[in-house]
Amino acid sequence: MENAFIDSLKTTVDRDWASIKQGEFWKLVMGKTVTKALYYDLMLEIYHYTKHNSRNQAATSIVEAPDALLKFVYQHAAEELGHERMVIHDLESIELLKKDDLQRKPLPATEALIGYLYFVAFKYGAVARLGYSFWAEDVYEQIGEALAKIRKDLSLADKNMTFFVAHAKIDEKHADQVNDCIDRFAKTPAEQALVQQVARTTIFLTGQLLEQVAALHAK
């Protein structure tokens, strides 16, 4: 698909993720042996925001949008429903989960990410939220090296990483659909600016989430 805006958005996403990779979380993962405690705290934050992704995706339908885009929204929301249970499975598979911790309050950046996505849904709607989906559905390109290091350090198999392994396969289809939706529905400069704004803000908040996880383990 040839689309100058999508190409420029990809460049922006790559640049913003490169900045995250200069942070303390990346240094901790790539420079030291990953501990179970670090992995556990990371996965709990992933659990918290993933639990809301189906809901805030569906909530975008409150803002008027073309039927074809709403059809994508409803299907995507349904397919995202319950993915947080993969996190529970993965932590249980290595006997790490303390179920009471699922009720633990999210870190401030995680809560900000969750809240921001609801704000986008209710204020701007489905087109704007494509900015989040654009990079989130294709994030494995950005985090693959760190995931490989975590897998190696903790001796994890595919059965222990279903959130990332199974999710990656699901997201391959979603990424193509998101690109198609951006190509079809983010036509005006204002719409494209919103998509980029949401992409950059959600990447920033995700980076802050990672930094706050790292701060829990700073010595």
Q: What is the pLDDT of residue 138?
A: 84
Among 50, 210, 102, 88, which Cα is nearest to 146's?
210
Q: What is the pLDDT of residue 167?
A: 65
Among 6, 13, 4, which Cα is nearest to 199's?
13
Residue 128 makes CB contacts below 8 A (sequence gap 6+) with 60, 120, 191, 194, 195, 197, 198
Q: Which amino acid is at 91?
A: L
The predicted-structure confidence for 35-59, as pLDDT tens digits, reads as follows 999 999 999 999 999 999 999 999 9
Name the domain count of the chain: 1
The mean pLDDT value for 66-95 works out to 95
The predicted-structure confidence for 140-167, as pLDDT tens digits, reads as follows 889 999 999 999 999 999 999 999 987 6
Mean pLDDT computed over every residue of the chain: 94
- The domain that holds 30 is classified in CATH as 1.20.910.10
Determine the Cα–Cα distance for residues 173 and 155; give it in Å rounded to an integer: 29
HSE at residue 30, side-chain half, CA atoms within 13 A, is 12
Q: What is the pLDDT of residue 169?
A: 64
Among 90, 42, 43, which Cα is nearest to 210's?
42
| Reported pTM | 0.95
Give the tokens for residue 62: 């409150």
pLDDT at 171 over 60: no
Give the tokens for residue 124: 């701007």
Determine the Cα–Cα distance for residues 57 and 59; give it in Å rounded to an integer: 5
Which structural domain range is residue 61 located in? Answer: 4-215
Among 49, 47, 31, which Cα is nearest to 145's?
31
